[in-house]
């Protein structure tokens, strides 16, 4: 069975009104305020889409996100109605809130890079002195980002969000409350599987005046995970943490002189590295869900998606 990767989609679903193509997901809006979110096999890093697709990556993302959305409905209502195909989620259209809620339990990734530059404040949050990369924060910190229509998301403080009126205070406080509760649940679920949820991001929208969780949650694209076993020993020895996230893709790009900066050229990914990325995504799926990953038939993946979505729509 060949492993096709979905790089682009161009569906015309029944009742389709428009389509938005994101870095990884293609979102089709239908009549009756429904969204069909197709998780492609594209992969992005440093806000650039890499040239090759990663087989099964979209399936991993969609199925992990579905599991976590279903496991957190008691905390916050979310947009998801059904997953009629391994790569597809269907749910309610919401008015997106233009702030991404990033929460960090550890000094890793972007926060570690900023810290290494001598910065001791991130998004208005004071950072303790004397930390080293991958140390745990005394309490998780929320470091929001303003959602750009295109290009980079920008760090922004809670004070600026409220001062600029980007989000009304009551709604922002509700988003903070949900963010902390979701991170706590994600942390507990990760710990049960021998993982540490290091940091993640949540996106929210408004539906019928209510704050709703949208998009994906706790996936390897939106989150960073460390292995709990050996974490402290690696910290004590100043060794890199063993992690399940997209960070290794970023590291490979950095080693190949690409960080998305002007004048830099995207390196060509060898097939062997593409296969490694697929294996890492499947490993994360199995580790975080405790289930064996069942590879869907990808011999004609676009037709499969279209058939499954149309069958679901026809029953509404």
Please name the helix (run of DSSP H) or strand (run of DSSP E) that holds residue 227, with its range, or none: strand 223-227
- The residues, any chain, with a CB within 8 Å of residue 302's CB and separated by 6 or more, are 6, 9
Q: How far is the C-alpha of 8 from the C-alpha of 86, rounded, in Å?
A: 16
Displacement of CA 32 from its chain's centroid (Å): 27
CATH for the stretch 95-244: 3.30.470.20
Q: What distance lies between CA 100 and its chain's CA centroid? A: 11
Q: Split the chain (316 residues) into runs of 10 and give each run's mean pLDDT.
A: 80 96 94 95 90 94 96 98 98 95 97 97 97 98 84 86 95 98 97 96 96 93 93 97 84 93 92 93 91 94 96 94
The predicted pLDDT at position 46 comes to 87
What's the pLDDT score for residue 1? 39
C-alpha span between 4 and 6 (Å, rounded): 7
**Extents of the domains making up the chain:** 95-244
d(CA 7, CA 143): 31
Q: Which residues lie below 8 Å from residue 127, measured CB to CB, with a gap of 6+? A: 107, 111, 115, 119, 120, 121, 141
Instruction: State the Cα torsion 58-61-64-68 to the nearest 10°.
Output: -130
């Amino acid at each position: 069975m060949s492993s096709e990767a979905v790089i682009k989609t161009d569906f015309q679903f029944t009742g389709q009104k428009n389509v938005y193509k994101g870095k990884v997901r293609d979102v089709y809006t239908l009549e009756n305020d429904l969204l069909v979110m197709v998780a492609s096999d594209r992969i992005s890093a440093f806000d650039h889409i890499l040239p090759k697709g990663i087989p099964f990556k979209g399936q991993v993302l969609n199925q992990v996100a579905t599991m976590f959305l279903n496991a957190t409905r008691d905390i916050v209502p979310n947009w998801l109605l059904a997953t009629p195909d391994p790569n597809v989620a269907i749910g309610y259209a919401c008015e997106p809130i233009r702030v991404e809620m990033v929460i960090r339990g550890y000094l890793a990734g972007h926060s570690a890079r900023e810290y290494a530059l001598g910065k001791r404040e991130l998004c208005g949050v004071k950072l303790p002195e004397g930390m080293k990369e991958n140390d745990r924060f005394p309490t998780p910190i929320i470091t929001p980002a303003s959602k750009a229509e295109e290009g980079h998301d920008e760090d922004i403080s809670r004070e600026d969000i409220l001062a600029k009126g980007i989000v009304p205070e009551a709604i922002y406080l509700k988003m903070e409350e949900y963010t902390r509760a979701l991170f706590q649940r994600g942390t507990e679920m990760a710990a049960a599987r021998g993982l540490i949820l290091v940091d993640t991001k949540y996106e929210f929208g408004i539906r019928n005046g209510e704050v709703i969780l949208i998009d994906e949650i706790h996936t390897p694209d939106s989150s960073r995970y460390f292995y709990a076993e050996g974490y402290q020993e690696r910290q004590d020895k100043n060794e890199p943490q063993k992690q399940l996230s997209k960070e290794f893709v970023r590291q490979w790009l950095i080693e190949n002189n690409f960080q998305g900066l002007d004048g830099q050229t995207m390196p060509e990914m060898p097939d062997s590295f593409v296969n490694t990325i697929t294996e890492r995504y499947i490993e994360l799926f199995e580790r975080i869900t405790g289930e064996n990953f069942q590879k869907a038939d990808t011999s004609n993946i676009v037709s499969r998606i279209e058939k499954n979505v149309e069958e679901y729509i026809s029953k509404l």
